[in-house]
Structure 1
Amino acid sequence: MADPVLKIDALEVLFPGFRGNVHAVNGVDLEVQPSEIVGLVGESGSAKSVTAMTALRLLPKGSYRQDAGKISLLGRDVAKMSERDMNHLRGGDVAMICQEPQTALNPTKSIGKQMLRVIELHSDLRGRAAKARAIELLQDMRINDAEEILTRYPFELSGGMRQRILIGMAFACAPKLLVADEPTTALDVTVQRQVLQLLHAKAHQTGASVLFISHDLAVISQFCDRIYVMYAGRVVETGPAQEVLGNPQHPYTAALIEALPEDADPGAPLTSIPGTVPNLVKPPRGCAFQPRCRHAHADCVIRPHLTPVGPDHQAACWLREETPQ
């Protein structure tokens, strides 16, 4: 197997605060292989975005502390890279699509100026060649009148159009890794499906790896090869997407699936997970999901580790025993 494009080992991240340190990421291991689409799923506050932004060194300096762990990005140790090297890597070999395109795009500059800046900064294309590349990218995103769209400003376009432009910009320099952080949350269902199809097709066409962050299991199931389920800063289950979602082995994963509105009977109350995510200023002992888990028992006061429960499938739960391979 080729070396992963992203490898995170035992990552621990905290945010200092006046009420104490928030232990946001607590021993996360994660890998993304070449040409693989990996999902990172969990409730808000699970530290999905913090994990990804730490890997790309996008968190503001001084706002956090990495207490442990190693991050390897395209075979390079992120901690040892200079800011200049990181800036060169981001936007070129590594790209990111943010959740809200309205804030990701500069409202004071035209789409053309923003796209050309990315293309000229991370490639050898200039002038007309760069503009031709920008038009090509917009056409790949099935945007009509691409040349005219380059003259528009973000506020003149719909949310779906802005998100397609961000995807086009992300692929401008043929990235090896694309981090997509909730890229369709702000879109309606029809536009969401179109944007996901374009993103999926473009990733396969270029061979780019994708780390897809979402709280939407339905989207994850359609889009990803493997998934990591996060809760309270930890990975609680991981494996092939269809295996994890079809045969969940952690109570939290099962509860997320049960809460899907698509599976609810018409007129019946929607299922929800009782309680809330724990306060990570004082992380709970043992399994963090214990207070909300209907299967909790005495052993749960000791923190479980990821254990094999099937081929390439692991779960961190005392209810599961190691499955012979």
Structure 2
Amino acid sequence: MKITIYDVAEEAGVSIATVSKVINNTGRIGKMTREKVLQAMEKLNYQPSFVASALTGKKTETIGLLVPDISNPFFSEIARTIEDRAHERGKSVIMCSTNYNEKKEVKYIELLQRKQVDGIIVTSGFQNRTLVQQMQRNGTPLALLAQDDPILNVSVVSVDDFKGGYMAASFLFENGHTNIGIIGEKVQSSKMRVYGCLEALEMEGIQVEKKNVINTTASIENGRKGILQLLDCDNPPTAVFAVNDLIAIGAIKGAREVGVLVPEDLSIIGFDNTILATTTVPELTTIAQPMRDMGNKIVDILIEEIETDNSTKSKERILFVPELIVRGTTANLLVNKI
């Protein structure tokens, strides 16, 4: 039998209105009365219907989080930060992993709307811009994380992907690498990293051949396949920039399979600085995103929009600066030169 607010009121010996005030933390309720209601709720295992509260115009104190692939350590690590920050602010998080699939995006947006979430965080890799625009028209508070779209009038928290790619290429060039391969990904943030890399190399008079630029999706297996393709040619690159750590780890794995030593024969640099970066041997040189700062900031921005009139508030665009983390997967080719 489903426990209702009436059962709680009867168990506690108070009115339904009193139980409602305790649940919603409104009105003036004595400490002893509040304790009686809370004890009754616990005894009966009563779960308030926050969806019902939302239908009456009250907030559900929940946030939706859409990620493209929770198996990617970047998204799992940043999702944990978002959940921790939301909890600190008195909110719960409903997370949905879309697997870069537009049908799943539609399905999960409909789910979050049925759950009456107060706002939604959309992370990198979301395919359906029209769906985002529709949510905006419906008045749903939104914020984008690790991606930007100038057409959408929403708040954004991201890292300077272009600069990160530029830093990666500049570091490799400064260490004597002029034959550089790139394993990219088919999402906007990763494309900006590739553009930054190519721009830095062009500034040094280096043109990267088309065969040395591979586009794929983020996985260890695709990183492995990508590096095997780059190495299976005349004059293979001496260094590779992978647009995320997941692809970089796969590249290290693939290189080993064909007897190519990292970093002695091939330097590899990733992007993100996830936990994976310190689990390889040698540890991965990478471009770090400040994931904790980004996760905390996106939650704070979204909650502010939820709690204010977001239709009139100007949107924020926060751009964090990436950082080069030098570890063991890159070598300096100039060391042994006279």
Using the size of structure 2 for normalisation, the TM-score is: 0.29
Max radius of gyration: which structure? 2
Using the size of structure 1 for normalisation, the TM-score is: 0.30
Question: Would you tell me which structure has more strand in proportion to its own residues?
Answer: 1
Q: Which has the higher contact order (CA 8 A, sep 6+)?
A: 1
Question: Would you tell me which structure has more helix in proportion to its own residues?
Answer: 2
